[in-house]
Amino acid sequence: MPQTTPPLDKATLGLVTLFLTSGATHLVRPQVFEGMVPHVLPRRRELVYVSGVAEIACALGLLHPRTRKVAGLASAALLVAVFPANLQMSASHAKRAQRKEDTASTAFFAGTVARLPLQWPLIRTALRAAGRL
């Protein structure tokens, strides 16, 4: 029995919007993301550009029924691949919050930590779009 393409639901549209916005920002303001790239990786600017293009490609793939399954899997893989960057961002802001000891730095650090578990619902949405959940 052939599998049907999962519908373009609100959650998937939200992921599309997130990827398009973030991907465009990666290309227009790469310096914002360079500090998130784990220090062990070389060529940070290029990696930011590549991840931005990947986000846009995944978003566009999720929109079309013919490419939604593959794009859903690619989106889940991309979200897993960038998770270390999110960890790096939290670690960097933890150091700043400790040094500055001001409310804004501490609040921003708390936001980066709160953001980490939000990656999992995004991965689930991508896998649902792929027809895997």
* Structure confidence by residue, pLDDT tens digits, 80-103: 999 988 888 888 888 777 776 667
Give the span between the Cα atoms of 132 and 121, in whole angstroms. Answer: 14
For residues 27-42, give the mean pLDDT. Answer: 90
Q: Return mean pLDDT, the chain.
A: 90
Dihedral of alpha carbons 6, 8, 14, 17, sign: positive
**pTM of this structure:** 0.86
Listed by start position, the domains of the chain span: 10-82+118-124
The DSSP secondary-structure symbol of 117 reads: G
